[in-house]
Amino acid sequence: MDQNNETDAAYFVLLGFSDQPRLEIILYVVVLVSYLMTLVGNSAIILVSRLDSKLNTPMYFFLTNLSFLDLCFTTSIVPQLLWNLKGPAKTITWTGCAIQLYVSLSLGSTECVLLTIMAFDRYVAVCKPLNYTTIMHPSFCKALAGVAWLSGVGNTLIQGTITLRLPRCGHYRLQHFLCEVPAMVKLACVDIHANEVQLFVATLVLLLIPMLLILVSYGFIVQAVAKIRSVQAWRKALGTCGSHLIVVSLFFGTSSVIYIQPKRSYGPVQGKFLTLFYTVVTPTLNPLIYTLRNKDFKGALRRLVGSKNQG
């Protein structure tokens, strides 16, 4: 075999939206504004949850984890994306690509499990309110959060390492705006059937099963509220679960289309926009959804602002 064919480039070219230069200008502004809102919104949730003792609850513990996760997730993607959208240079070093792949994949996988745990928390709050504090003990909550983070790290160590070790035979032009497994696998110059099977199994474990568990949790919640047959009960349940349900729908709705639906059902441009939505837009919307719909958080924010004004 020719030695040159075995040599892989020390960098990658993230083609992204380079075929639409005018669109890149618009996307640059949209992505920049979204990123700044993500930083402000998620940082506010973390700070307020930590500073106000009344928010020292399991729900806000998991929400703080989600906010920190979203901050790290977008930061692993957006700065490089903004750099590529700003100018003609679309390159990223092999090391930079590997870091982006490991970090974004790990955090994306963690979010799937974390949102499932948050659905379980809502199930206990609605269906077992008298035993809520006993079941959702702080040590148990920390253990659940640890499981979410470890599952993400474990998945990325397997998927990321296998993907990076694939021979590319000099192929270095990625038809995407970030280094992710499906796009990088396409650069391989060997049979990738085993990689596709491995990706399917990972999708089953970290996407389909969490979606099923979330549906089961909300099925029990609907069943419990239906037995009460009270409008007030429905409003309380909606207030308790509404924000999480919206976030779950946004995240799993777009990610499932990308990783589950056959690729031929949508074009590469649509795939990029779907990925852009759940990697950039969703982390921006999450804090807005949780804060605008949450009286406890708004009350805590008013108390903190009031105490500072009095001081």
The helix (run of H) or strand (run of E) holding residue 138 is: helix 138-164
Q: 242-260 burial by CB neighbour count: b if 16+ within 10 A, else e?
A: bbbbebbebbbebbbbbbe
Backbone angles phi, psi at 91, to 5 degrees: -85, 155
Select from 77, 76, 75, 85 the least CA-distant residue to 17: 85
Average pLDDT over residues 75-89: 90
Q: What angle do CA 38, 43, 47 make, to 5 degrees?
A: 160
| CATH architecture label of 3-310 | Up-down Bundle (1.20)
Percent of the chain clearing pLDDT 90 (strictly above): 46
Rounded Cα–Cα distance for residues 146 and 141 (Å): 9
- Tokens (6 digits) for 134: 């006993």
- Tokens (6 digits) for 46: 């973390």
The pTM assigned to this predicted structure is 0.89
pLDDT, tens digit (0-9, with 9 covering 90-100), for 98-157: 999 999 999 999 999 999 999 999 999 989 989 999 999 999 999 999 999 999 999 999
